[in-house]
Amino acid sequence: MQSTVAMPEALPYYLNFLHPLMMWGLLALSGYGLWLGIKAKKIRTGTPEERKKLISGQFGKRHYQIGSLLLAFMVLGTFGGMAVTYLNNGKLFVGPHLLVGIGMASLVAVAAALTPLMQQGHVIARKVHVGLNMTLMSLFLWQAVSGMQIVAKIWENRPA
């Protein structure tokens, strides 16, 4: 026997744009996090003069804080976008944008989980962290394009 679940009324139309706006903000924040990470590396690997100039910027601490924000909001944004899609349509549209988004949420979680090892000086963990985040940035740029295509479809089908 199959049970039926009553779907709620469609959510307010503007909620369709919360996920894309949030993700564009997170893409920009990711770029800033990348810049902070590069500066933090220069503190570790630079000449004594470079290190002296950069140390007061607390780039490592700021990189860690931005990374924590990215982890939290990327996971919330990913599942929030899925929730709005499901509530408005009664289903998820399983395709590249959804699957890559889920993969990105996983990548950011694994990259963040490497932090304790990096703080202990594990070079391999640091290299994996960088590799995961560069993959994440590449996927994020692709998601921005595919996401705008989805936004265009939502806009075309907007209520009168």
Instruction: For residue range 96-155, list pLDDT tens digits in order.
Output: 999 999 999 999 999 999 999 999 999 999 999 999 999 999 999 999 999 999 999 988
Q: 1 pLDDT exceeds 60?
A: no
Q: How far is CA 149 from the centre of its chain?
A: 18
**pLDDT recorded at residue 127:** 98
How far is 57 from 14, CA to CA, in rounded Å? 39
What local confidence, expressed as pLDDT, does residue 91 receive? 94
> Under CATH, which architecture does the 15-155 domain have?
Up-down Bundle (1.20)
- Indicate whether 5 pLDDT > 80: no
Q: Is the pLDDT of residue 60 over 80?
A: yes
pLDDT given at position 159:
79
pLDDT tens-digit series, residues 17-43: 999 999 999 999 999 999 999 999 999
Tally of CB atoms within 10 A around 145: 9
Kind plus residue range of the DSSP H or E element containing 19: helix 18-45
Q: What angle do CA 38, 32, 141 make, to 5 degrees?
A: 105
Across 82-103, average pLDDT: 93
Predicted TM-score (pTM) of the model is: 0.86
The amino acid occupying position 159 is P
Mean pLDDT of 84-105: 94
- Residue 8 pLDDT exceeds 90: no
